Amino acid sequence: MEWLLDSANTKDWKRVSTTGLFSAVTTNPLLIQRAGLKCSIDTYKSLHDQAMDLGFDHLQLQVFGDDWQGMAEQILSISDNTIVKIPANEKGFSLASQLSVPSRTTITGVYSVHLGAAAERLGAAYAAPYYARLAESDRDVEAIFAGLRTACQNTKVLVASLRSIEQFEHLVGLGHRCFTIPGALLDDLMSDQMTEAAIAQFEEAAKG
């Protein structure tokens, strides 16, 4: 199973870096804005350095602006430990097809099976569908995710947009193995009330 932290807040990064639960970090321009950072290649380089210092395997960074190809090339040139996130539309597919390293691409914003199939066709490392956003729409989220599991045989389905631990557990039960976890879910992910109560009993008993 693979978990990626979905955050540009380096406090979240530091918190999880010692747990061994998260292999990498993924970001996007909205998360960078929420962290109070400027969306720029200099910010990307700084975030990369911090991610590597904390021991993460890689950092996923999204293209933006008018020149997606130029941005993708800059992201990939930061180091071998960056993966470029590319939106799932015609412009993004054209970009992904021109890159020489499809294994370092994530097709993001996957809202349908055919977009996941396109990511598979392009040889992308990951296809990122947004579960909660789909669940809150009028589309059949369960059918879409079942279709994505069939369509993506080599490309990993990187489940994004989770609003609750219940959604995470539901998808684990369906066999999904690759997730982005937002900072807002960290407390729920790494604790349980019954576990904490049992620990308190153990500690009390240890006092004699």
Tens digits of residue pLDDT in 78-127: 999 999 999 999 999 999 999 999 999 999 999 999 999 999 999 999 99
Total number of domains constituting the chain: 1
pTM of the model: 0.95
Domain extent, residue 26, equals 2-206
Quick one: three-class SS letters along the chain? Answer: CEEEEECCCHHHHHHHHCCCCCCEEECCHHHHHHCCCCCCHHHHHHHHHHHHHCCCCEEEEECCCCCHHHHHHHHHHHCCCEEEEEECCHHHHHHHHHCCCHHHEEEEEECCHHHHHHHHHHCCCEEEEEHHHHHCCCCCHHHHHHHHHHHCCCCEECEECCCCHHHHHHHHHCCCCEEEEEHHHHHHHCCCHHHHHHHHHHHHHHCC
Q: What percent of the chain has pLDDT over 90?
A: 99
CATH number at residue 201: 3.20.20.70
